[in-house]
Chain A
Amino acid sequence: MAHDEHNPLTHPEVRNASTGLYVAAFVLGMAAMGIACLVTVGFDLSQVTILTWLAVLAAVASLGQLYLLFKLDLSRAMLWHTVSLVLTIPLFFMAIGLTIFMFHYLEARVMLGS
């Protein structure tokens, strides 16, 4: 994180701004969302196939944006941002997946109309 403290513009998180990366993040995000929309409404696919496509496209778009927008890497300036994100991602999906899993079996056993 070494930089000239008297000039904040020399900070590595300022210096890592890049037109190319931001444009790439925009193109990647719009392309992935456009394809996801097309897959959902433009083709007669099974629900499992659509859900698989949506999951893959969401992963590509979100991981691509995380890297391109935040410039996450193992450099000294960004190491702990990257580590904290890598440790949060499993918690994010565990919270969603385990909740759906628990309510799926709860519904099958006790909910009205099951």
Chain B
Amino acid sequence: MSKHDTQHSPEPVASGLWQPEPEHPDSIGLRTLGFWLYMMSDAMIFAGLFAAHGVYLRAYGGSDITAAEVIDPAKGLIPTLLLFTSVLAFGLASVALKNDDRSRMLRWMGASWILGLAFLGEEVWEFSGLAGEDAVPQASAFLSDFWTIVWVHGAHVAVGLIWMAAMLVQIAREGYTEATVGRFLNLRIFWFFQAVIWVFVYTFVYLMGVS
């Protein structure tokens, strides 16, 4: 055996990137960083959809229906307000978590869930109206792109609502454990991210389409 094999250093590894505190690894921080990186890859899915939108908006179309005919920019502010308010309510739930006020935290998260559901309901109402006017995805390249972008985002919101409902139950039953707080922080990243993506959906899909 070499000297290297038989000797163990009693000193902990010096502070650095991989293992800053060997006795107390930051599992919450590692989880949120891993989930954050997942959200960065999720952003690239939206980059692909926005790229398709940039191509489809003016190049191809098999329908007489134009963006200006199916998009009302002022009405688009309604889902914007609902989603941003839901994100604000979730932020206030985070502040209640910080202050160790579980009942207030659950109330704000419940408010965020209701507002998120209202956002989805508004989207369903808006697109059912489009379907009634034959502005369906099959009608033109632009419409297929419009439906896809809005509903990929809508699918994210739906997943977030399911996740939020599960978190409401978990935190109500288990309280603030390392596991539940870690999941809550990941859900916060996911939910806040939906507001940032909606900024691009509203400006580049709703508004640019009719400009």
Contacts and interface: CB of A to CB of B under 8 A. Distances in A.
Given A5-B24, A41-B73, A92-B44, A29 B181 contact: no
Contacts of B54: 96, 99-100, 103
10 contacts: A5-B178, A9-B181, A13-B29, A14-B97, A23-B88, A29-B84, A29-B199, A32-B199, A69-B91, A77-B29
B102 to A, nearest CB: 11
Nearest to B72: A41
B136 to A, nearest CB: 23
A48 B18 CA distance: 48
Interface of A: 1-3, 5, 8-9, 11-15, 17-19, 21-23, 25-26, 29-30, 32-34, 36-37, 40-41, 47, 50-51, 54-55, 57-58, 61-62, 65-66, 69-70, 77, 80-81, 84-85, 88, 91-93, 95-96, 99-100, 103, 107, 111
A92 to B, nearest CB: 5
Interface string B42-69: 0110011011101100011000000000
Given A8-B28, A69-B192, A37 B73 contact: yes
A71 B28 CA distance: 16
B189 to A, nearest CB: 7
Complex A-B, nearest 10 residue pairs according to Cβ-Cβ distance, in ascending order: A22-B91, A99-B51, A17-B94, A8-B181, A100-B54, A95-B47, A1-B26, A58-B203, A103-B55, A50-B211
Contact of A37 (B32, B47, B77): B77
Contact of B185 (A5, A13, A41): A13
A34 B98 CA distance: 32
Contacts, number: 165
Contacts of B50: 96
Main secondary structure of the interface of A (DSSP, over half): helix
Contact of A17 (B51, B98, B208): B98
B142 to A, nearest CB: 14
Contacts of A58: 199-200, 203-204
Interface of B: 20-21, 24, 26, 28-29, 32-33, 36-37, 40, 43-44, 47-48, 50-52, 54-55, 59-60, 73-74, 76-77, 80-81, 84-85, 87-88, 91-92, 94-95, 97-98, 100, 176-178, 181-182, 185, 189, 192, 195-196, 199-200, 202-204, 207-208, 210-211
B189 A95 contact: no
Contacts of B95: 17-19, 22
A25 B91 contact: yes
Contacts of B98: 9, 14-15, 17
